[in-house]
Chains A and B, each alone.
Chain A
Amino acid sequence: MIILINGASQSNNQPILTVKNISKRFGNVQALKDVSLEIYKGDVIGLLGDNGAGKSTLIKIIAGNFPADEGEVFLEGKKVNFNSPSEARAAGIETVYQNSPVCINATVYENFYIGRELVNNFLGIKLVRNKEMQNGTMEVLKNLEISLPSVKAEIGLLSGGQRQAIILGRFFHWGGKIALLDEPFAALGVAESRKGLKLIRDISQKGLPIILITHNIEYAFQVMNKFVILRHGEVVGAGEKKDVSVEDIVSLITGAIEIKE
């Protein structure tokens, strides 16, 4: 029933991200033990598990928040050692979460182009090209079918779902290599979550692989093609969605069934 990750049938293209035998201790707590996973273009991996299973720790190691005690992370085949989230971000790995920092009083398009403004050089003075940035943002959002009242609206006035959609769209647009979504549905209503699920599916099909952490297994089931289940810091199940049912996943999370090699 379960195809373990290392033996997973894969096309021979290179994984975007490889996590190999990661272990992490916090004092006496073994947060992660020998965790491995691979993610390819087009994948949405559901990283599932109960509270304290080690999901966040794993995400934070991938995103450069802190280093692993043991194990290695490879991005496009190259070993990486991020010392900070900004290094990971520069390499193309970003975590998007409910309260991802944005400039709430700045407009959608300003947030979209922040740090990458389109400018005209006038005697060495960089003048922003607002109209072009507005049009550019509108086009990207339209391609991703993200609907907003206006790109000129302050981003702080939009809903949490819209905000996350913009951040994800921005990350995708500027050449992100892998997105880590940390509980994106935590504070969203049903309609908004549905839009979010669609966006995740669209964006992954456009080539951005996604690791999705969520407690909502039903939602995860709707978008993921693969899953990795953690329990007490260990991978207790991993494989392709088509081989399992929601019940199987729940059983693995709670430990009602166990699979050992």
Chain B
Amino acid sequence: MTIIQKKETLKWILDNIAWFILLAMLTIFSFTVKGFAQWPIYRNILYHSVFVGILAIAEAICILSKEMDLSVESVLALSAVVTAYLAGIGLDASGLHLNGPTTLIIVLIMGAIIGLFNSYFIVRMKINSFIVTLAGYLIFRAIGLIITKGHGVVNISKDIVAVARTNIGPIPLMVIILLVIYVIFSLFLSKTQFGRFIYFVGDNREASYNAGIKTDRVLTIVFIMSGVLSALAGWLLAARTNGSSPSLGQGILFEAMAAVVIGGVSLQGGVGKLSGVFAGAVILSSISTVINIVNINPYYMNIIRGAMIIIAVLLDAIIRKIRPKLI
């Protein structure tokens, strides 16, 4: 190997460090944790990453553009509630008995409107996205609670529930949906002009604007995409739980955020790849699975998540020091 090839290899490893961490973790768990090394466990890990994974894409797109969306969790919850309410077959629902595709379209449009709502205040009124979406975080879950008067909804349309229970070969349909969404959005971010604009706008808004990129339009679409993805995750969560409960998905925002950071997306904007975010989501899911298996007190979970975030940030700082030497 020439020096250039060595440098390229090292660069590639550093750019994909989350995957190496994931592989190392899975290997260690497989050899040390009894009962870990079997397909149902791996499948469960993947299934577990579906909701965090999709929310993490929404969050990653916002963070790549140097904004933040704290409302993703509440949009997910609202979407699940609306889905369950419209498609519920029990007395606790709307009585409309809508089918899967109809509810999906409704919640996706709702997600887009919420994204537009967020972006109006962020882009037009120039209010910090942290503040705007913090308000959204409070508002959207509350709307869901008001719709169902704080009750849960159980038993929804069978075609929705089927999405969560269908397997294609050994792989759950949910996991395939997750993978397809990741592939689509990875290609979108890395290969399309608009995807590159998201990076540029996050990296240096002035340079992007100077280059004629409509930065306001880019940010508006970023928040719309975030809303739609969160709503989709909520719909899938309703399918998974065959309904909705008031506390559905509580705390998932922080898991999504952790997956994004562990996956190597920089909070400074313009840096990171979705493949890393996927690895980040699976890392978190593997850890919680292991904690379940070995019967560790689940309260340790957040300590481990916190530690993972710190390690990820430290690692990022180290990589940033090494990288300049690799050009």
Contacts and interface: CB of A to CB of B under 8 A. Distances in A.
A115 B327 contact: no
A117 interface: yes
B203 A106 contact: yes
A100 B266 CA distance: 22
Nearest to A90: B212
A127 B204 contact: no
B31 interface: no
Interface of A is mostly: loop
Interface string B32-57: 00000000000000000000000000
A106 B327 contact: no
Given A86-B210, A106-B270, A114-B208, A119 B203 contact: no
Interface string A95-111: 00000111111100011
Contacts of A106: 196, 199-200, 203, 270
Contacts of A115: 208, 211-213
B327 A150 contact: yes
Contacts of A158: 327
B209 interface: yes
Interface string A78-106: 00000001100100000000001111111
A105 B192 contact: no
A100 B200 CA distance: 15
B271 interface: yes
Nearest to A158: B327
A117 B190 CA distance: 13
A127 B196 CA distance: 10
B327 A149 contact: yes
B269 to A, nearest CB: 8
Interface string B196-230: 10011001101111111100000000000000000
Given A101-B210, A106-B203, A117 B196 contact: yes
Contacts of B209: 86
A154 interface: yes
A195 to B, nearest CB: 18
Given A103-B203, A117-B193, A126-B194, 13 more contacts: A86-B209, A100-B207, A103-B199, A106-B203, A111-B207, A115-B213, A116-B212, A119-B193, A126-B192, A126-B193, A128-B191, A128-B192, A150-B327
Interface of A: 85-86, 89, 100-106, 110-111, 114-117, 119, 125-128, 149-150, 153-154, 157-158
Q: Which 7 A-B pairs have the closest CB atoms?
A: A115-B211, A101-B207, A103-B203, A101-B206, A153-B327, A126-B193, A114-B211
